Structure 1
Amino acid sequence: MLRPEPDQRGRLVEIRDGLLARIIEAEREGRLGELEGLEVSLSGAQDKLAQLDAEQARRSTAVDLGIPTFPDIAGRHGSAPLQP
């Protein structure tokens, strides 16, 4: 499975929009064989756009791993005094 590059999202939107226009034209002119192929291509373009959106949502969501940060650690004081 090929992963689309995020910077190609605009191009995928153009492709999807072009496919939608061609589907409308094929329906209007009764080209049913072409219509089926265009719908398959449209489904693929929409899937790729959904992959890009899911990847973007995943990357923008922070995950707490439960690892303490430096301020959390540095602010703690030990309970036992140091021995000279």
Structure 2
Amino acid sequence: MIARIAEAKTEGWLGEAEGLQVSLAGAEEKLRRLDRGQGQHTAVDLGIPSTRGDR
């Protein structure tokens, strides 16, 4: 994506470059949130599946 931003700037596609920079910033923020969430997983009880005869 960084290469695409550089290309857009070189070609004078300023709107495209800005849009790509916004997308990159969003992706980087999402990665930071995911990294901070490491180790904070909780177990979820999904229950015991039943068969048709269990009803």
**Shorter-normalised TM-score: what interval?**
0.5 to 0.7
Aligned length: 40
TM-score (norm 2): 0.63
- How far apart are the structure 2 equivalents of 1:29 and 1:49? 29
Between structure 1 and structure 2, the one with the greater Rg is 1
Greater relative contact order, per chain length (Cα 8 Å cut-off, separation 6+): 1
Alignment root-mean-square deviation, CA: 1.4
TM-score (norm 1): 0.44
For residue 20 of structure 1, report the CA deviation from its aligned partner.
1.1
For residue 23 of structure 1, report the CA deviation from its aligned partner.
0.4
In structure 2, stretches of 5+ residues that fail to align are 41-55
Identity, % of aligned positions: 57
